[in-house]
């Protein structure tokens, strides 16, 4: 799916800004043909939750409505006009002038609809109804309930089955873009590097709609120099003396695609791409023929006020903070991040593990200590109870369609912390891995990241994965505060994985300790900045002792907002930066360690 850009044949109307907003109290039916009553001003893109300073809005579960007027300049009416949402969380019904024109389920991928037939000259009323309901059929997974209050009114409640706040709203840019009536619909670029000869074969496949006499593809380098020119919709070229996209040293080529009628360029789109080779050989993760070592983070899209909404200044800052401490990668835990962030990572050379929103696939997930005390908490029965397979297939399709050309995307993560140890997990996951592998023409490695209950002897799905990705909290959730015992347990587990899969790379995709900025102790007490540093030093020793260990992505880059819970004090505090991105003490230790570990060639 192409990202909307302005070219000589395409333009964009930006619909970001102040919209009207109201929560749906489900007392009176809302008519999408009329302006919303008693609506408040709200900024788009952003989560709605933290903008209005009202408890009932922040905690609202159910439906909300957004509205704005749209006027299309007359000169644009001859073009094909497409309304595009970067995302709408989690389910959207879109109306123009009272007519439903599209519907999309899934809060982290873009969708679009042609709107020529629904528009009139002058003002048009654009209304979006959103649901933030998550249940056992959606991704992420929510515990959904409906009760009735004292007045007989239905009360909906979504209890997150995961550890981040269920922010919702129009999270990403909304645009109307134009294309000619005959247009370039999609571009798929697959580079194949010949490292020995320093060359690359680049395959470009173009989907078009309408009639073109010819399609021309020109490959340009960063100096705008033409390196190849081809005609056709499935074309190959070979680039000699190729500039590779390297971790932290990005190089981007551009494929300029032109649809031609009678010698005239009717439509034109330019797609950036990087050329790099990813391979897994004998327990190592190679980029461009050298073993790569992941240093970085699990993150969140989470900032003050914007919530999970796009915040480009924070994206830029986060990447610069990563660079400042010698990191080279992150995982889009626990959902696809904005297209804007992916484009930035292409430019900056950040290596990304691109994750679906499959989080919460575990009936036993619980932060409820009273339930634990009164008999073991929730029951394990995930694969018979949850019905997320269809949603899971859909997000894999939509994620790969969106991100397939990104050089920064080096691994797909199919899920985070599912019940991979339960009976039925293999049957659930095998078709998902097969689908991802079939759809991705670049054949990137696929993985899932596993929870501590999924051990070498209990994981039912590890044979499916290309990399063993572990979320491990030895010394925090287990052996809490006892780093000596934790170190032994962590090292012992890695040995078992190495024995089981001598040829699969192993990495940590989460490890961390809640730490409150400004808490200190002489006695290595948990929650203090000293303990956080001791914890990371302990883990570093374990990693360095494991031959096939290819990376450390800690949890979390920054403190982030979660649902209420007795394990959370205004959110999760495992950040090495706080939510404002101020460093905790451990940042100095990590900077020293990571700056001394090269991105390529660390463990030969």
Q: Which is nearer to ligand BDP, 328 or 572 (CB)?
A: 572
Q: Which is nearer to ligand BDP, 440 or 510 (CB)?
A: 510
Q: Which is nearer to ligand BDP, 48 or 555 (CB)?
A: 555
Closest approach, Cβ 367 to ligand BDP, in A, equals: 9
Please state, in angstroms and rounded to a whole number, the distance separating the CA atoms of residues 363 and 384. Answer: 10
Q: Does 63 bind ligand BDP (CB under 6 A)?
A: no
Q: Which residue of this chain has its Cβ atom nearest to ligand BDP in the complex?
A: 163
Q: Which of 51, 87, 572, 578 binds ligand BDP (CB under 6 A)?
A: 572
Q: Does 531 bind ligand BDP (CB under 6 A)?
A: no
**At residue 470, what are phi and psi to the nearest 5 degrees?**
-115, 130
Which own/partner contact pairs does 207-211 have at CB distance under 8 Å and 24+ positions apart? 207/233, 208/182, 208/183, 208/184, 208/233, 208/259, 209/182, 209/183, 209/185, 210/180, 210/181, 210/182, 210/183, 211/182, 211/261
Q: Does 574 bind ligand BDP (CB under 6 A)?
A: yes
* Residue of 339, 487, 510, 552 marked catalytic: 510
Binding to ligand BDP (CB under 6 A): which residues in 295-334? 334
Whether cis (ω within 30° of 0) applies to the bond prior to 362 is no
Q: Which of 50, 163, 346, 559 binds ligand BDP (CB under 6 A)?
A: 163
* Residue of 91, 112, 417, 422 marked catalytic: 417
Binding to ligand BDP (CB under 6 A): which residues in 331-360? 334
Q: Which is nearer to ligand BDP, 335 or 497 (CB)?
A: 335
**Known catalytic membership, residue 510:** yes
Question: How many chain residues are in contact with ligand BDP, going by CB under 6 A?
Answer: 10
Q: Does 367 bind ligand BDP (CB under 6 A)?
A: no
Q: Which of 109, 131, 311, 416 binds ligand BDP (CB under 6 A)?
A: 416
Closest approach, Cβ 332 to ligand BDP, in A, equals: 12
Please state, in angstroms and rounded to a whole number, the distance separating the CA atoms of residues 574 and 561. Answer: 11
Closest approach, Cβ 436 to ligand BDP, in A, equals: 20
Q: Return the CA Rg of the chain.
A: 25
Please state, in angstroms and rounded to a whole number, the distance separating the CA atoms of residues 449 and 298. Answer: 11
Residues 107 and 88: beta-carbon distance below 8 Å: yes
**Known catalytic membership, residue 417:** yes
Residue holding tokens 């070219």? 7
Q: Which is nearer to ligand BDP, 163 or 339 (CB)?
A: 163
Helix or strand (DSSP H, E) at 103: strand 99-105
Q: Which is nearer to ligand BDP, 246 or 471 (CB)?
A: 471
Binding to ligand BDP (CB under 6 A): which residues in 467-496? 471
Residues 243 and 222: beta-carbon distance below 8 Å: yes
Q: What angle do CA 231, 236, 241 make, to 5 degrees?
A: 115
Side by side, which strands form the sheet with 226-231? 226-231, 214-220, 253-261, 264-273
Q: Which of 118, 555, 557, 577 binds ligand BDP (CB under 6 A)?
A: 555
Closest approach, Cβ 574 to ligand BDP, in A, equals: 5
**At residue 162, what are phi and psi to the nearest 5 degrees?**
-160, 170
DSSP 52: S
The first and second tokens of residue 84, run together, are 């595009």
Please state, in angstroms and rounded to a whole number, the distance separating the CA atoms of residues 522 and 528. Answer: 10
Q: Which is nearer to ligand BDP, 9 or 462 (CB)?
A: 462
Catalytic residue annotation: 417, 510
Point out which residues bind ligand BDP (CB under 6 A). Answer: 162-163, 334, 416-417, 471, 510, 555, 572, 574
């Amino acid at each position: 799916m192409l990202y909307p850009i302005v070219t000589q044949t395409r333009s964009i109307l930006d619909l970001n800004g102040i919209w009207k907003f109201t929560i749906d109290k489900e007392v009176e039916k809302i008519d999408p043909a009329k302006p919303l009553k008693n609506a408040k001003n709200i900024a788009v893109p952003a989560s709605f939750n933290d903008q209005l300073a009202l408890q009932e809005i922040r905690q609202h579960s159910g439906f909300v409505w957004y509205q704005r007027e749209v006027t299309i300049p007359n000169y644009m009416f001859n073009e094909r006009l497409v309304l595009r949402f970067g995302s709408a969380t989690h389910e959207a019904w879109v109306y123009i002038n009272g007519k439903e024109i599209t519907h999309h389920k899934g809060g982290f991928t873009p969708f679009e609809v042609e709107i020529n037939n629904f528009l009139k000259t002058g003002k048009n009323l654009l209304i979006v109804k959103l649901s933030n309901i998550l249940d056992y059929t959606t991704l992420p997974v929510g515990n959904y309930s409906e009760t009735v209050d004292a007045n007989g009114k239905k009360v909906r409640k979504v209890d997150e089955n995961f550890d981040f706040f269920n922010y919702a709203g129009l999270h990403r840019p909304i645009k109307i873009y134009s294309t000619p009536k005959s247009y370039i619909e999609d571009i798929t670029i697959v580079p194949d590097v010949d490292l020995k000869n320093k060359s690359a074969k680049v395959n470009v496949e173009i989907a078009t709609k309408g009639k073109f006499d010819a399609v021309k593809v020109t490959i340009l380098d960063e100096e705008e120099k033409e390196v190849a020119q081809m005609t056709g919709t499935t074309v190959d070229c070979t680039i000699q003396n190729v500039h590779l996209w390297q971790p932290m040293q990005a190089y981007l080529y551009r494929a300029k695609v032109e649809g031609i009628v009678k010698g005239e360029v009717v439509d034109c789109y330019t797609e950036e791409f990087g050329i790099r080779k990813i391979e897994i050989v004998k327990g190592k993760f190679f980029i461009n023929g050298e073993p790569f070592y992941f240093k970085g983070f699990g993150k969140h899209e989470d900032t003050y006020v914007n919530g999970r909404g796009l915040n480009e200044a924070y994206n830029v800052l986060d990447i610069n903070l990563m660079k400042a401490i010698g990191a080279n990668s992150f995982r889009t835990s626990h959902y696809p991040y904005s297209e804007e962030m992916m484009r930035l990572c292409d430019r900056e050379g950040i290596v990304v593990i691109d994750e679906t929103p499959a989080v919460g696939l575990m009936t036993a997930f619980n932060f409820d200590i009273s339930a634990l005390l009164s008999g073991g908490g929730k029951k394990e029965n995930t694969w018979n109870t949850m019905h997320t397979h269809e949603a899971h297939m859909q997000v894999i399709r939509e994620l790969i369609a969106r991100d397939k050309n990104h050089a920064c995307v080096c691994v797909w993560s199919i899920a985070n912390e599912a019940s991979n140890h339960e009976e039925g997990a293999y049957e659930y996951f095998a078709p998902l891995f097969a689908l991802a592998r079939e759809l991705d023409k670049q054949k990137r490695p696929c993985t899932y990241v596993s929870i501590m209950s999924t051990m070498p002897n209990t994981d039912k799905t590890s044979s499916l994965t290309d990399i063993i990705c572990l979320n491990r909290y030895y010394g925090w959730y287990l052996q809490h505060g006892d780093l000596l015992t934790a170190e032994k347990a962590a090292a012992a587990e890695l040995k078992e994985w190495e024995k089981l899969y001598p040829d699969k790379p192993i990495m940590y995709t989460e490890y961390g300790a809640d730490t409150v900025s400004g808490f200190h102790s002489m006695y290595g007490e948990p929650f203090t900045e000293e303990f956080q540093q001791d914890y990371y030093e302990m883990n570093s020793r374990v990693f360095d002792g494991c031959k096939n260990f290819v990376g450390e992505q800690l949890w979390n880059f920054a403190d982030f907002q979660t649902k209420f819970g007795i394990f959370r004090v205004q959110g999760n505090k495992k950040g090495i930066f706080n939510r404002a991105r101020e460093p905790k003490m451990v940042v100095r230790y990590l900077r020293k360690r990571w700056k001394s570990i090269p991105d390529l060639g660390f463990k030969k």
